Amino acid sequence: MKNESVYKRNIFGSFKSSAWLLAFSLLLLASGCVKVEYSKIEDPAYLRVFNNLNYIQTLGSKDNKVPFFCMFINPVVDASGMPVSAEIVGDFLDQRDAYAPPYPSHIGSSISVNNPEYPGKENVLVGPILNGFDLSSWAQVPSGKVRIMFAYRPKNTVPFFQLENELKKDILIDTTINLTSKEVYTLHLLQKDFVSKRTGILLRQEIFQKLPLSDSLTYVNFYNMSSKGYWEADRSLKADNFLLASFQGGMKDDMNVFLSLYENQSNLLQKGPAIAGYNGKYLANVKLNTSTGVVNPYVSFPIWASQATNGITTNMWQRFDFFTPGMDITNNPFYQGSTENGGNWVSVNCMQNGNARVQFNDNAAMLPNLLVNIHSGIHNPATFATVNSIEVVNGRIYLTTIQRKYAPPVY
Amino acid sequence: MKKLTYLFAVGLSLLFFASCKHDDLSMAKPNENVRPAADFVKNNYEMRLFYAALQKVGYVDQLNGKGPFTVLAPTDEAFNNLGIYTAADFDKMNADSLKKVIGYHVLPRRLRVADIPSNGIDVRYATLEGTALYASAASLNPNGGALDELYFSGVEATRKDVPMANGTLHVLNQVMKPNFSKTIQQWLAQHKEYSVFVSGLKKFGLWEQLAVQGPFTIFAPDNKAMEDLGITELSLSAMDASKYLGDLLFGVYILYDRHFFTSDGQVFAGINSNGSYNYYPKNTTYYMTFGAGKMYPSFKLAYSLVLRTGPTSNDPPVAVSGDITAKNDNLCSNGLVHHLAGGLVRPEEAIKR
């Protein structure tokens, strides 16, 4: 009898302590829990933003305001007009890079906060794959009528809303744009007049994802979004950067574009042999336009134009010559390396990764190759056709490349 | 049994919480012998005059206090360049102005080189005096190379980041020359060595603008330089102003809408390989090249002006360099004044045709 009661008490006692233990472990478990809410934008439009207001740090421009911005979509402003929060914030928006790549990969691996485009490095919801085109460089934003604002900010690493109040009141642009659900847009921040320094935005509704484009042709269209009066202006007023070569002085408002394809981008000594049929071939006309968001027609060239190719990869590169109407490759009066041509002739070489120059007798600015060479499937590299926009802004030239989703590499 | 389990539970939970603490760290004891700012300056015989100035204006106790401070300490040689050789020389100066200038050499914060943005130009930092100075750092060149040059209001920091108990210290090889609320006009009027230049500016209607908002950079030729060109007070008063191009004869020494320290040329030569600036002097067809940097043969900061009749290198130049470093970089409220050792345009070259 006595033994039984001891036994009972033990059972009861150990049950009680195990209950405590259990409760305690549950508490520990519960304290480790977080609730995750995934953000979602209803009826999004897809937007990519470029800051085309460029600058270069020189002695003469040391006092100029640096065009370094914070972008707001649907901002909340206080009584003094200062933004206090916003639905979408694109901070540290720096001048754009010469190359806007098809995937935000190389931007994502950077260690600086300065963003060459929006979304770029921002960790936000991005676009889906539309008609085979990967829109991961386009951010989802609310559709409909949205208010968009660009505020000057100091060039440092302090997030906009943590800046001192007086640094947050310098607004460059405050306007509304109309975005349709599920459409693809690029938004450009531009200087529209070189003399009055008037700035503005240009919203372009892209159509590449709706076109029946072949995957053995590379497509490109051209824009001239320079400010009015840039090419006429005196050289002393323009950024001094020898790497811009013939583009440094700008180009005239109406230009014809000629395409040349060359066989071998590994040879940097000279241009080398051109591909038959593609030596100064007329391609398109481009006119100055900073007011309407019309998409200029895409023109194309075959990616297997070279006889030397095996149909998997090609080493060819492209050169675009911009001539004022009446001039072309055959009656070009300037010598090959001439960089100061009064805006009558400018040229750009698209080769390698955009840092390569032809060493002798050349006046071209540098851009990356339009064709993407990358490891895909068992082929390393395989060459892919792309859809491109080449944009001239004042003394600079920019390339935006869009690529279809491709097969992952097999190692 | 029950007690044991209970103990176990309590013990386990204790372990859980104990794991969040890291108390047992062993650390080296900080060096307590590092001196506070004023004592540090006192014990450096390269900075005896600066210490004398600190004593004179009564900053010693404050600088030995809590801080943090950044002391920009000019060497004795820097003071010698201004004609100050002994502590007694400070007694001849206006005590209030001296206090302001010395206060401009101390920042009420710790500012290491690493705190200044890379390639930051004219970054403003408040000083103990109240006005903000200009800091420019050449940190990177476009080819990716590292540079290590730092300038405060046009003066080079020759030794940087010297640690002190209550802050940091940078050694300057010149004294900064702030004039606070004084305008360029007031500054020029007070310096007799530029009196002919001043008379000329007055005669050709260029004087009044120097009292208002700039910025301007003035390359002020002294009376000797003017005389070499054949311009004296006497010849000026005999001159008929309507027969000469005033914007060329005297306006050529005024650079409008820019404020350039001589150090700017050196900084930009490092960060974008171009330390010069070309411009047409206002209302003239002449073409000027301003270049600055550490110049041959002394490798001290100086500037040069090259004036040509037109923008190409075929146009004949008139070259002048202002190489007296100690007299450059006079910072006024609306710009800078640099000393110019030789004039540029002779009266006969500026006759209206």
A18: its two tokens: 């195990």
d(CA A143, CA B115): 42
| Angstroms from B146 CA to nearest CA on chain A | 17
Mention every residue, 6+ apart, whose C-beta is less than 8 A from residue B80: B49
Contact B274 A21 (CB under 8 A): no
d(CA A222, CA A213): 17
Q: Which of the four CATH numbers 2.30.180.10, 3.90.1310.10, 1.10.150.20, 2.130.10.10 does domain B184-350 have?
A: 2.30.180.10
For chain B, strand residue ranges (E) read 69-74, 106-107, 123-126, 132-140, 146-152, 155-164, 167-172, 177-178, 216-221, 254-256, 276-279, 287-295, 300-308, 317-322, 330-332, 335-340
Give which of A379, A369, A367 is closest to A403, Cα–Cα: A369
d(CA B250, CA B242): 14
B289 close to A (CB below 8 A): no
Q: How high is the pLDDT of residue A58? A: 84
Strands A69-77 and A83-93 come out as antiparallel
Contact of B167 with B68, CB cutoff 8 Å: yes
Q: How high is the pLDDT of residue B18? A: 64
Asked if the model's pLDDT at residue B158 lies above 70, the reply is yes
Strand partners, B70: B107, B168
B276 close to A (CB below 8 A): yes
Q: Which of A210, A240, A270 lies at the terminal end of a domain, its last residue?
A: A210
3-state helix, strand, coil in chain A (%, to 5): 15, 40, 50
Looking at the structure, do residues A261 and A144 belong to the same domain, yes or no?
Answer: no
B6 close to A (CB below 8 A): yes
B117 close to A (CB below 8 A): yes
Residue of A nearest to B259 (CA): A63
pLDDT tens by residue, A325-381: 999 999 999 998 898 899 999 999 999 988 888 888 889 999 999 999 999 999 999
Tokens 């060239």 -> residue = A301
Contact of A249 with A363, CB cutoff 8 Å: no
Looking at the structure, do residues A265 and A157 belong to the same domain, yes or no?
Answer: no
Range(s) of the domain holding residue A52: 40-210
B275: its two tokens: 């330390």
B277 close to A (CB below 8 A): yes
Looking at the structure, do residues A240 and A149 belong to the same domain, yes or no?
Answer: no
- Give the number of other Cβ atoms within 10 Å of residue B141's Cβ: 15
Number of domains present in the structure of chain A: 2
d(CA B109, CA B167): 7
Give the C-alpha distances (Å, rounded to integers) separating A20 from A24, A188, A388, A406, B4: 6, 64, 67, 57, 13
- Give the number of other Cβ atoms within 10 Å of residue A310's Cβ: 9
| Angstroms from B225 CA to nearest CA on chain A | 27
B151 close to A (CB below 8 A): no
Q: Which of A181, A210, A239 lies at the terminal end of a domain, its last residue?
A: A210
Contact B268 A28 (CB under 8 A): no
Looking at the structure, do residues A116 and A55 belong to the same domain, yes or no?
Answer: yes
Q: Indicate the residue of A14, A21, A28 with minimum beta-carbon distance to B1.
A: A14
Burial B69-103 (b: 16+ CB within 10 A, else e): bbbbbbbbebbebeebeeeebbeeeeeeebbbbbb
Tell me which chain A residues have a C-beta less than 8 angstroms from the C-beta of B268.
Answer: 57-59, 62
Looking at the structure, do residues A272 and A206 belong to the same domain, yes or no?
Answer: no
Looking at the structure, do residues A237 and A160 belong to the same domain, yes or no?
Answer: no
Tell me which chain B residues have a C-beta less than 8 angstroms from the C-beta of A25.
Answer: none
Q: Which long-range contacts (CB under 8 A, 24 or more apart) does B283-287 make?
A: B283/B247, B283/B251, B284/B245, B284/B247, B284/B248, B284/B251, B284/B252, B285/B309, B285/B310, B286/B248, B286/B252, B286/B310, B287/B311, B287/B315
Coil, helix or strand for B42?
helix
Q: How many CB pairs under 8 A join A and B?
A: 55
B123 close to A (CB below 8 A): no
Looking at the structure, do residues A187 and A279 belong to the same domain, yes or no?
Answer: no
Contact A62 B1 (CB under 8 A): no
ipTM of the assembly? 0.76
Give the C-alpha distances (Å, rounded to integers) separating B120 from A156, B123, B160, B215: 10, 6, 16, 20
Tell me which chain A residues have a C-beta less than 8 angstroms from the C-beta of B276.
Answer: 59
A93: its two tokens: 């928006």
Q: Which of A177, A210, A243 lies at the terminal end of a domain, its last residue?
A: A210
- Give the number of other Cβ atoms within 10 Å of residue A323's Cβ: 23
Tokens 């405590």 -> residue = A20
For A161-298, strand residue ranges (E) read 171-179, 184-191, 199-205, 217-224, 254-262, 274-287
Strand order in the sheet with B254-256: B177-178, B330-332, B335-340, B216-221, B254-256
Side chain identity, residue B60: V
* B residues 33-72 lying closer than 8 A (beta carbon) to A: none
The rounded radius of gyration (Å) of the Cα atoms in chain A is 28
Q: Indicate the residue of B2, B117, B265 with minimum beta-carbon distance to A59.
A: B265
Contact A62 B264 (CB under 8 A): yes
- Give the number of other Cβ atoms within 10 Å of residue B193's Cβ: 15
Class (C level, CATH) for B37-176 = mainly beta
Tell me which chain B residues have a C-beta less than 8 angstroms from the C-beta of A155.
Answer: 117
Q: Is residue A399 part of a domain?
A: yes
Looking at the structure, do residues A73 and A181 belong to the same domain, yes or no?
Answer: yes
Contact B9 A59 (CB under 8 A): no
- Angle between helical axes of B48-57 and B95-103 (0-180°, round to 10): 120
pTM for this entry: 0.77
Tell me which chain A residues have a C-beta less than 8 angstroms from the C-beta of B260.
Answer: 59
Q: Is residue A54 part of a domain?
A: yes
Q: Is residue A215 part of a domain?
A: no
Tell me the average pLDDT of chain B: 88
Residue of A nearest to B142 (CA): A57
Coil, helix or strand for B14?
helix
Tell me which chain A residues have a C-beta less than 8 angstroms from the C-beta of B259.
Answer: 63
Q: Indicate the residue of B16, B215, B277 with minimum beta-carbon distance to A59.
A: B277
Tokens 């039984």 -> residue = A4
d(CA B311, CA B333): 32
Looking at the structure, do residues A345 and A247 belong to the same domain, yes or no?
Answer: yes
Looking at the structure, do residues A266 and A336 belong to the same domain, yes or no?
Answer: yes
B274 close to A (CB below 8 A): yes
B119 close to A (CB below 8 A): yes
A401: its two tokens: 């490349």
Q: How far is CA B149 from the centre of its chain?
A: 13
Contact A236 B279 (CB under 8 A): yes
Q: Indicate the residue of B6, B122, B274 with minimum beta-carbon distance to A58.
A: B274
Tell me which chain B residues have a C-beta less than 8 angstroms from the C-beta of A60.
Answer: 258, 277, 279
Contact A28 B277 (CB under 8 A): no
Mutate to test the interface with B, among A20, A55, A62 (most CBs of B within 10 A): A62
Q: Is residue A7 part of a domain?
A: no
d(CA A89, CA A74): 9
pLDDT by position in tens, chain A (length 411): 455 555 555 555 566 778 888 887 888 777 777 778 888 888 999 999 999 998 888 888 888 888 999 999 999 999 998 999 999 999 999 999 999 998 887 776 788 889 999 999 998 999 999 999 989 999 999 999 999 999 999 888 889 999 888 889 999 999 999 999 999 999 999 999 999 999 999 999 999 999 999 989 999 999 999 999 999 998 878 877 778 889 989 999 999 999 999 998 888 888 888 999 999 999 999 999 999 999 999 999 999 999 888 999 999 999 999 999 999 999 999 998 898 899 999 999 999 988 888 888 889 999 999 999 999 999 999 999 999 999 999 999 999 999 988 899 999
d(CA B143, CA B269): 13
Looking at the structure, do residues A205 and A243 belong to the same domain, yes or no?
Answer: no
Residues carrying CATH 2.30.180.10, chain B: 37-176, 184-350
Tokens 């914060």 -> residue = B109
d(CA A402, CA A385): 9
- Angle between helical axes of A2-31 and B2-18 (0-180°, round to 10): 20
Tell me which chain A residues have a C-beta less than 8 angstroms from the C-beta of B15.
Answer: none
Looking at the structure, do residues A299 and A246 belong to the same domain, yes or no?
Answer: yes
